[in-house]
Amino acid sequence: GKYTVTLIPGDGIGPEISESVKAIYRAANVRGDAPVSSCVSDVPIKVPIQWEEVSVNPVLKEGKTVIPDDAVQSIRKNTVALKGAHDRWQHLVLGKGHVSLNLTLRRTFKLFANVRPCVSIEGFKTPYDDVDTVLIRENTEGEYSGIEHEELTLGFRKMSDGMFLSACRQVAKDFPDVTYDEDLLDRVCLQIVQNPKPYADRVMVMPNLYGDILSDMCAGLIGGLGLTPSGNIGRDASIFEAVHGSAPDIAGKGLANPTALLLSSLMMLRHMNLNEHADKIQKAALTTIAEGKAITGDLGGKASTQEYTAAIIGKL
């Protein structure tokens, strides 16, 4: 049978990289119908996914800006969605205040955990070749959730850090078998860039804003924001999206790297237990990057979004 998945292209480079993902999935479909050649495994490539495309950009309804009904219903019905980023100005205006569109989606579907794996691509040269981290962000509560992308005053930050620290110390007492240590964000950043080895087997717990900073830094260790996927996991639905934003500086120019969205879609396939399909597409994408002949500008190459996409399709 086929699974229907909600696709939200989003703003900026969102539509271009969504097209790329759709083309790759379409190609996998077509090839799966042909006899499987001997050089690939005998798993059919056909991806049993049907996209249902909607926009979550705010619309006016009875004097309020809201997420369009059909989008909310689509996500609720399908319970799985793939999403491009949204511009900062995409707010919902509710009575007096503005609410971030992303935050509203997270609260609407109780997407409590944002899971961000960050793994080195074998064969793609970066200062470290064995990065393997997972960062999990609290999505629906916490100091950062209501004021995403906005400045926090230093005073507020120091105060919430103090609260966070005393809570951690309290919890640490209940787990004497777990070695507990404290560190400062600036030092951690320096260390991870200079010599990440001591952090190899650590679990770090930190306030949400620091997680956002460390997550972009980890992306830098493996080749940048063009490569890092994420999943917003909830009880009622899950929405998968790249870690990066709408990249307005390169939108519409055919320069965007679709890998982060593609890898997000593969997290989605795995979430749906379509592991073999995810493995197939992932291998095609990662070997294309490792070979380096058709990679996008952010990775040091000269290929357009379409040329890179075509190279992956060629491998499939």
Which residues would be at the binding site for ligand NAI (CB under 6 A)? 13, 85-88, 102, 149, 225-226, 241, 244-250, 256-257, 260, 298
Closest separation in Å from C-beta 103 to Mg ion: 14
- What one-character DSSP code corresponds to residue 252? T
Closest separation in Å from C-beta 25 to ligand NAI: 18
- Among ligand NAI, Mg ion, none, residue 49 binds (CB under 5-8 Å by kind): none
- Distances 60 to 53, 66, 73, 112 between C-alpha atoms, Å: 20, 6, 17, 27
Closest separation in Å from C-beta 149 to ligand NAI: 5
Closest separation in Å from C-beta 305 to Mg ion: 21
Contact assessment for residue 316 and residue 281, using Cβ atoms and an 8 Å cutoff: yes
Q: How far apart are CA 222 and CA 307, in angstroms?
A: 22
- Distances 176 to 167, 179, 231 between C-alpha atoms, Å: 15, 7, 32
Is the CB of 44 or the CB of 301 nearer to ligand NAI?
301
Site for Mg ion in 205-224 (CB under 5 A): 212
Site for Mg ion in 58-117 (CB under 5 A): none
- What one-character DSSP code corresponds to residue 199? G
Number of residues in contact with Mg ion under rule CB under 5 A: 1
Residue nearest to ligand NAI (CB): 245
- Among Mg ion, ligand NAI, none, residue 87 binds (CB under 5-8 Å by kind): ligand NAI
Is the CB of 162 or the CB of 248 nearer to ligand NAI?
248
Q: Work out the angle between the directed axes of helices 275-291 and 14-33 (0-180°, nearest 10).
A: 110
Closest CA to 72 of 81, 61, 84, 63: 81
State the sign of the Cα–Cα–Cα–Cα dihedral 302, 248, 306, 24.
positive
Is the CB of 9 or the CB of 245 nearer to ligand NAI?
245
Is the CB of 251 or the CB of 290 nearer to ligand NAI?
251
Task: List interacting residues with Mg ion (CB under 5 A).
Answer: 212
